[in-house]
């Protein structure tokens, strides 16, 4: 059979950590080469929590992505904001990202008391700025996401016009919950479609697979896959690609985060192909996000070809997801230059 080509129109990564400084320079080109844009997480060492910080960070990202065509959709780190701040920022951000305090990497400045967020959330609703949420409680690690659904319910019912994104959902319960409110969308990562807790900790411990939310049970993974392959309109791809250098992963106190950006589209194509639904990939990696967020990303056709390659063990100091494995699809060289 002749090798096949797959063309994706303006693929988007709706949840992406690009970091700053040398790490930004190292990792940004892998996203910029295969995506038309991405939603940039604001959890830098000093959170991106002002318009000045958004502008400064966007400029650094654009420099790191040059010469690729790639739009960084910027987010503000949730804190108490006044109306004027959000009005000024509205046209330069895609949303505001809420982290519960201390729940994951660099989230210390996050929300400590959910009883006190109402005023800022009401402004987001009024100004039609989406709220992106890391939805985990401080409960038992396997139960955190399901426990947090009560907060999503409260948000959806108290602020009925607010667009809410449940970031990186990992459970059957979250998949089921998503159907209840059409103001709520969700992102799903590549790694949560592929691994369970067994891969992380069932054999020798795998720090490269340690992330938040932690990978769950086979039943949860099955529910996620079924949902994604069925192609519902409010499920979007967000890699949550979150690079950490080797010395922060292979140590006592391993940082949470999986660096999946270099393998994102090739691995997704393999997964959708195996499931017999390659025609649904476009909805997951682009159309659903465009509709929910009302985006017009840059026109950029990314071509994948059936050409196998071996994922390197390291990119600089960072071990990528699926390091050492062979993938059937690769991003065609021509699309790297945006021809």
- Where on the chain is the footprint of ligand DOR (CB under 6 A)? 17, 43, 104-105, 134, 211-212, 242, 256-257
Token representation of residue 110? 């996050």
- Look at residue 43 and give the partner it binds from ligand DOR, Zn ion, none, a contact being a CB closer than 5 to 8 Å depending on partner kind: ligand DOR
Catalytic residue among 49, 208, 240, 282: 240
**Closest CB to ligand DOR among residues 271, 318:** 318
Tracing tokens 């159907």 back to the chain, one arrives at 179
Minimum distance between the CB of residue 239 and Zn ion, rounded to whole angstroms? 9
- Look at residue 31 and give the partner it binds from ligand DOR, Zn ion, none, a contact being a CB closer than 5 to 8 Å depending on partner kind: none
Only segment of 91-99, 196-204, 234-242, 247-255 that touches Zn ion (CB under 5 A): 234-242
Q: Which residues contact 157 (CB under 8 A, 6 or more apart)?
A: none
**Is the bond leading into 213 cis (omega within 30 degrees of zero)?**
yes
Indicate the pairing of strand 12-16 with strand 95-98. Answer: unpaired
**Closest CB to ligand DOR among residues 34, 105:** 105
**Closest CB to ligand DOR among residues 6, 64:** 64
Answer yes or no: are the C-beta atoms of 36 and 298 closer than 8 Å: yes
Supply the angle between the helices 21-34 and 264-274 in degrees, to the nearest 10.
Answer: 40
- Residue 44 in 3-state DSSP? coil
Minimum distance between the CB of residue 264 and ligand DOR, rounded to whole angstroms? 15
Phi then psi for residue 233, to 5 deg, are: -70, -20
Minimum distance between the CB of residue 255 and ligand DOR, rounded to whole angstroms? 6
CA 119/CA 124 separation, integer angstroms: 9
**Closest CB to ligand DOR among residues 77, 284:** 77
| Residue facing Zn ion at closest CB distance | 240
**Closest CB to ligand DOR among residues 134, 216:** 134
CA 296/CA 289 separation, integer angstroms: 10
Token representation of residue 165? 């994104």
Q: Is 240 a catalytic residue?
A: yes
Tracing tokens 């959890």 back to the chain, one arrives at 43
Query: Applying CB under 5 A, which of residues 49, 125, 220, 240 lies at the interface with Zn ion?
Result: 240
Which residues contact Zn ion (rule: CB under 5 A)? 240
Active site residues: 240
């Amino acid at each position: 059979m002749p090798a096949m080509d797959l063309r994706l129109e303006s693929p988007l990564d709706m949840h992406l950590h690009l970091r700053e400084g040398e790490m930004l320079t190292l990792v940004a080109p892998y996203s910029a080469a295969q995506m038309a844009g991405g939603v940039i997480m604001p959890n830098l060492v000093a959170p991106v929590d002002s318009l000045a910080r958004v502008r400064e960070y966007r400029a650094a990202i654009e420099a790191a992505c040059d010469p690729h065509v790639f739009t960084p959709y910027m987010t503000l780190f949730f804190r108490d904001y006044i109306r004027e701040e959000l009005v000024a920022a509205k046209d330069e951000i895609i949303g505001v990202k809420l982290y519960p305090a201390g729940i994951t990497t660099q989230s210390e400045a996050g929300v400590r008391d959910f009883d006190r967020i109402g005023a800022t959330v009401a402004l987001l609703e009024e100004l039609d700025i989406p709220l992106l949420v890391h939805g985990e409680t401080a409960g038992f690690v396997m139960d955190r996401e399901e426990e947090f659904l009560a907060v999503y319910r409260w948000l959806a019912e108290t602020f009925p016009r607010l667009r809410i994104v449940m970031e990186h959902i990992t459970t059957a319960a979250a998949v089921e919950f998503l159907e209840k409110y059409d103001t709520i969308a969700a992102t799903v990562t590549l790694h949560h479609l592929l691994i369970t807790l067994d891969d992380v900790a069932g054999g020798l411990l795998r720090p490269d697979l340690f992330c938040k939310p932690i990978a769950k049970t086979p039943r949860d993974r099955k529910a996620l896959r079924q949902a994604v392959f069925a192609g519902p309109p409010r499920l979007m791809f967000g890699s949550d690609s979150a690079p950490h250098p080797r010395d922060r992963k292979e140590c006592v106190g391993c940082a949470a985060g999986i660096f999946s950006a270099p393998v994102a589209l090739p691995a997704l194509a393999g997964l959708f192909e195996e499931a017999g639904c390659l025609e649904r990939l476009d909805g997951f990696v682009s159309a659903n996000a465009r509709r929910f967020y009302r985006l017009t990303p840059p026109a950029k056709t990314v071509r994948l070809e059936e050409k196998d390659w071996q994922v390197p063990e390291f990119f600089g100091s960072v071990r990528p997801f699926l390091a050492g494995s062979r993938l059937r699809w690769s991003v065609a060289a021509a699309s790297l230059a945006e021809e």
